[in-house]
Structure 1
Amino acid sequence: MTNPSTPAPDLLAWASRVLGARPAVRDVSHPRENSRVFQLDLPGDVRFYLKISPKAVMYERETLALRHAAPALGAGGAPQLRASSADHLALLLTAVPGRPLEQWTLTPAEEARAHRRSGVLLARLHAAGDLSGPRRAEAEQALQAAADGADRHLRAAGDRLTAPEQKLVRSLAEQLRTLPPLPLAYIHGDAWERNLMWSRTQQRAGWIDFERSRFATAVQDFVRMACTTWADRPDLRAACLQGYGRDLTAEEQHALKGLAALDAVSCLAWGPAHDDPDVTARGRRTLDRLMAGVAA
């Protein structure tokens, strides 16, 4: 079943009431089943986005992030939450300048500038959450929770992994349980070039899509980039961490290797099941690199 290309009439009426005018609507959803995002344009080149979360937990996470943590990123560093509707799992968001970094063709110097700025923003986000009470407990258990998912992902991936590959993944997952306490943070949860906005005219970066934000170990926010862009561009890894203000510790680097293995298996389970060759290829490439002894 495909998603409607326009919002439901009552949802559009709600957005129109909030904005004070009926906008022109364009479907800008990602090409996947559970993505529903609409661009809302008003006269005077004023733009908003209407995002419908696929799950209540994602709506709750993004709402929390945009209300309490994302403002620390500063003007243009993240969307502003204009309004939300729990009945529709809908968020009405301001636009972030620019377009996703993956859509740009930039010089290496410009790419490094964008990644450096992304690291600055992640450092602000990581420090923005209130790590007290149950939130600290959630963050402290994050690596354990990740390791607990290994067998489930391996079963889903089935024979797409060889026996030696399965053994490596299980070993790396178990090592996540034995690491000493790592720096904790309020993480974006889906930090990579698809969600990193870049304005070439303003030379400014911003993060979007906070539906996977949560309290966890800080290193968990670097998994997506380690398994994609950084694999071929260590200069961009260095630029991002320079902006972040520190390099990863040896223990965090070890954790990143285990987390990359889990991401690879997840990709090899999810990609074929959803006919997504890009996700499948990402998982296969990461696993091949780990089998060859190349660190994440």
Structure 2
Amino acid sequence: MTSRDIMRSKTLPATVRHWAEQRTGHIVAVRDASHAWPRSRVWELTGSSGACWYVKISPSTKFYARETRAYRRIVPALGHGRAPQLLDSRAHDLVLLLTAAPGDPAKELGLDDATWRAVHQQAGELCARLHEAGNLDESDRVEAEASFAAAADGAENNLARAGNRLTDGEQQVIRNYAAQLRRVGPVPVGFIHGDNQPRNWLWSASASGLALLDFERTRPAARVQDLVLLTVTQWADHPDREKSFLDGYGRLLTDAERHALRCLTALDSVNCLAWGPDNGDVEVTARGRRTLDRLMRTSKP
């Protein structure tokens, strides 16, 4: 265990462990499986038979509501073995008990280019199933159709937080993209994953293939919003992966979606430059600077 692991290690509350054991039987081992940020609280549980489960304490009531709803209404559309299953939940503690899905985080496997293309193709297939799962009720549709405006609304706050990390010219480019996003025409909407990236993809070449994790950000929105993180990370230097994803997704993006995606990547860059330095996240900060530098080379303030 590294010093970073020790610093972020979290202890499973005894009351939550007792609650989980009512469903799983006696637990013989507990491992902290949280992401490396303070509000992430996830543990792997191992039973006496060797079976494994996961307990997750949501960081907020909103995330708990989103994730439990997703597991009950949306995730089953992905198919057997393509995501964990919700065994139980307890709103009082914001806790979920989940089955283990097959595979290991794709980000950690050192995959070759051909395997990455296969992973992205399957990610596209699963993303399409998720986006088309369930029917949007009236409030869902209102939320989805307002998702671009909500993203644009956040730009000014992120600019204020980022401060002098952006030049005056860069700030104007961000404002221009926020304004353009508000004017994008109709685009397909549905339920999005909300954190669609390889750290939430489990890959198993010998089992069912790809599985998705972590549905706390799943919500009604413009479907193209699920492609922002991939655009600024995986696809920036690997257009072959983008092609494989869209092959699996089953269609090309519309012109309106392409334009929206460019606007959304601009807003992601300032979010990264606001959040990353404030939280000591070098990777997120570098992502934001790299995206903004790329946009500045092709944009006029």
TM above 0.5, yes or no, is yes
Aligned residue for 1:229, secondary structure, equals coil
Count, aligned residues: 293
Given that 1:116 and 1:240 are in contact with CA atoms closer than 8 Å, whether structure 2 keeps it comes out as yes
Residue 142 (structure 1) shift: 0.5
Opposite residue 142 of structure 1, the aligned amino acid is: S
Partner of 2:202 in structure 1? 197
Q: Which moved more, 1:122-131 or 1:16-25?
A: 16-25
Q: 1:170 aligns with which of 167, 175, 182?
A: 175
Deviations 1:217-236 (A, max 9, x none): 01000001011111011000
Q: CA–CA distance in 1 between the matches of 2:165 and 2:211?
A: 36
Residue 117 (structure 1) shift: 0.3
2:73 paired with 1:62: no
Given that 1:3 and 1:36 are in contact with CA atoms closer than 8 Å, whether structure 2 keeps it comes out as no
CA RMSD of aligned residues (A): 1.3
Opposite residue 257 of structure 1, the aligned amino acid is: R
Partner of 1:92 in structure 2? 97
Partner of 1:272 in structure 2? 277
Partner of 2:129 in structure 1? 124
- Give structure 2 stretches of 5+ with no counterpart: 1-6
2:78 paired with 1:83: no
Residue 185 (structure 1) shift: 1.2
2:215 paired with 1:210: yes
Q: CA–CA distance in 2 between the matches of 1:97 and 1:169?
A: 41
Deviations 1:208-256 (A, max 9, x none): 0111010000100000101111101100001011100011111101100
Partner of 2:58 in structure 1? 53
Opposite residue 190 of structure 2, the aligned amino acid is: A
Partner of 1:71 in structure 2? 76
Q: Alpha carbons of 1:10 and 1:3: their partners in 2 closer, same or farther (altered >3 Å)? A: farther
Opposite residue 267 of structure 1, the aligned amino acid is: C
Residue 195 (structure 1) shift: 0.7
Aligned residue for 2:235, secondary structure, equals helix
Q: CA–CA distance in 1 between the matches of 2:10 and 2:264?
A: 36
Q: CA–CA distance in 2 between the matches of 1:262 and 1:45?
A: 45
Q: Which moved more, 1:197-206 or 1:64-73?
A: 197-206
TM-score calculated relative to the size of structure 1: 0.96
Opposite residue 268 of structure 1, the aligned amino acid is: L
Residue 3 (structure 1) shift: 6.6
Q: What does 1:1-296 align with in structure 2 at a 5 Å threshold? A: 5-202=10-207, 204-293=209-298
Opposite residue 169 of structure 1, the aligned amino acid is: I
Given that 1:25 and 1:41 are in contact with CA atoms closer than 8 Å, whether structure 2 keeps it comes out as yes
Given that 2:57 and 2:94 are in contact with CA atoms closer than 8 Å, whether structure 1 keeps it comes out as yes
Aligned residue for 1:148, secondary structure, equals helix
Q: CA–CA distance in 1 between the matches of 2:42 and 2:67?
A: 14
TM-score calculated relative to the size of structure 2: 0.95
Opposite residue 214 of structure 2, the aligned amino acid is: D
Given that 1:16 and 1:23 are in contact with CA atoms closer than 8 Å, whether structure 2 keeps it comes out as no
Q: CA–CA distance in 1 between the matches of 2:49 and 2:241?
A: 37
Q: Which moved more, 1:256-265 or 1:22-31?
A: 22-31
Q: CA–CA distance in 2 between the matches of 1:43 and 1:20?
A: 8
